[in-house]
């Protein structure tokens, strides 16, 4: 009996200690002294950490992310190309702060301007780019604000370079902007990951070489972007993104006390994300799941979600489960048509709800199928009608 009693006590101790051991494996979130910060998982779009993520803040040169976005949209739409040229105006030449050191009447390519903006944060390059693509800074800024509105982001711009303290962003808004930017223009990262940029003004005898101010490109594994910013009203800002094991994270730090501190805290956020979260693909949980199609060439349609990847704390991926609420839809059904709601549970706790979508197109059925479904629905509704 003594042996059984000892075994029982041992098991009880294990039950008490084991959960705390598992929890101990989850590192606490880093202490962030910056005014605002956000860590986002790129694949899922989930916010893994937030401090004052929805509070307004002055972006400084983070504005240039939207400047790059709008310019690359124009190129993607065929309204401009990287090889197009622009003439440097006197207004651009007179810009203060970070510069490419463009000179009046110089001819530069759009690609040179984009590189100068991404790598050395050239305020002069922003003005030349805006004038070249929209005719004026004001017209280009309008395009920037229209883009923010189209993306549903709480961002407001008054210039293309960020020198004004009247530009307004939030940390979460910037993270979502970066996610959309890199989704729409994945090749843009090649501009941001460059360690330095060389440009030779017309009057110079040798090229001017300037280093990228994002120190994490040299010190953090997998770092490949994205943008720094500083104004007295803003403090020191940084958007840092990195890829490790084919997984991208985005860290936004706003209002740090120094360049070194913004890099330290951005690196801490990225490290926290990689060490403490896994990605789970919920698409297999929807295999063979369907909803009924009325008057269609098929009577059932498969289900999918727009973003099947979710981020979960390490070690609990196996506890992910889903609940489906579907509705009968009438053909024709286009692929991607909303057909219900998917509830995602982690350890039986609801963590996220997303739209369920039709996984394929279903055409309108034959006249015989339509008549049959009409008759079936009529009698079904008749039977269900309360008496």
Question: Counting beta carbons within 10 angstroms of the beta carbon of residue 155, is it exposed (0 to 12), middle (13 to 18) or buried (19 or more)?
Answer: buried
Q: Which residues are catalytic?
A: 61, 64, 121
Q: Which residue has the tokens 């034959």?
A: 366
66 with 177: CB under 8 angstroms? yes
3-state SS of 262-330?
HHHHHHHHHHHHHHHEEEEECHHHHCCCEEEEECECCCEEEEECCCCEEEEECCCHHHEEEEEEECCEE
**Cis (ω within 30 of 0) for the bond into 332?**
yes
CB-based burial, 176-210: b 16+ in 10 Å, e otherwise: bbbbbbbeebeebbebbbbeebebebeeeeeeeeb
Residue 97 bridge partners (DSSP): none
Q: What dihedral angle (degrees, nearest 10) is formed by the CA atoms of 35, 310, 221, 34?
A: 0
CB 185 within 8 A of CB 82: no
Q: How far apart are CA 105 and CA 87, in angstroms?
A: 5
Exposure pattern of 96-129 as b/e (b: 16+ CB <10 Å)?
A: eebbbbbbeebebebebbbbbbbbbbbbbbbbbb
Q: 50 with 38: CB under 8 angstroms? A: yes
Contact 170, 154 (CB under 8 A): yes
Q: How far apart are CA 67 and CA 226, in angstroms?
A: 13
């Amino acid at each position: 009996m003594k042996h059984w009693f000892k075994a029982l006590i041992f098991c009880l101790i294990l039950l008490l200690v084991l959960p705390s051991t598992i929890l101990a494996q989850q590192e606490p979130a880093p202490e962030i002294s910056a005014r605002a910060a956000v860590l986002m998982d790129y694949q899922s779009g989930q916010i893994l950490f937030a401090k004052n993520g929805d509070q307004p803040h002055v972006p400084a040169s983070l504005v240039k992310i939207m400047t790059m976005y709008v310019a690359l949209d124009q190129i993607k739409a065929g309204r401009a190309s990287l090889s197009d040229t622009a003439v440097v105006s006197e207004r651009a030449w007179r810009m203060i702060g970070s510069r490419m050191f463009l000179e009046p009447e110089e001819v530069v390519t759009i690609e040179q301007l984009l590189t100068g903006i991404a790598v050395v944060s050239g305020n002069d390059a922003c003005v030349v780019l805006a004038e070249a693509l929209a005719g004026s800074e004001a017209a280009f800024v309008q395009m920037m604000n229209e883009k923010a509105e189209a993306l549903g982001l709480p961002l407001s711009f008054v210039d293309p370079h960020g020198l004004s303290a009247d530009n307004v962003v939030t940390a979460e808004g910037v993270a979502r902007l970066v996610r959309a930017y890199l989704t729409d223009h994945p090749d843009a990262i090649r501009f941001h990951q460059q360690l330095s940029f060389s440009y030779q003004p017309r009057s110079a005898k040798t090229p001017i070489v300037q280093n990228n101010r994002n120190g994490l490109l040299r010190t953090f594994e997998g770092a490949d972007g994205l943008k720094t910013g500083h104004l007295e009203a803003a403090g020191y800002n940084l958007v840092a993104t990195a890829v490790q094991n084919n997984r991208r994270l985005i860290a936004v730090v706003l209002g740090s006390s120094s360049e070194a501190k913004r890099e330290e805290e951005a690196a801490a956020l990225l490290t926290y994300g990689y060490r403490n979260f896994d990605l789970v693909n919920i698409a297999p949980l929807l295999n063979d799941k369907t909803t009924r199609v009325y008057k269609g060439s098929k009577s059932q349609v498969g289900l999918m979600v727009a973003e099947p990847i979710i981020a979960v704390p390490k070690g609990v991926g196996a506890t992910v489960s889903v609940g489906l609420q579907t509705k009968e839809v009438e053909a024709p059904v286009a692929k991607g048509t909303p057909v219900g709601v998917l509830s995602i549970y982690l350890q039986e706790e609801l963590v996220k709800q997303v739209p369920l979508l039709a996984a394929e197109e279903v055409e309108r059925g034959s006249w015989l199928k339509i008549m049959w479904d009409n008759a079936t629905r009529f009698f079904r509704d008749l039977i269900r009608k309360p008496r």
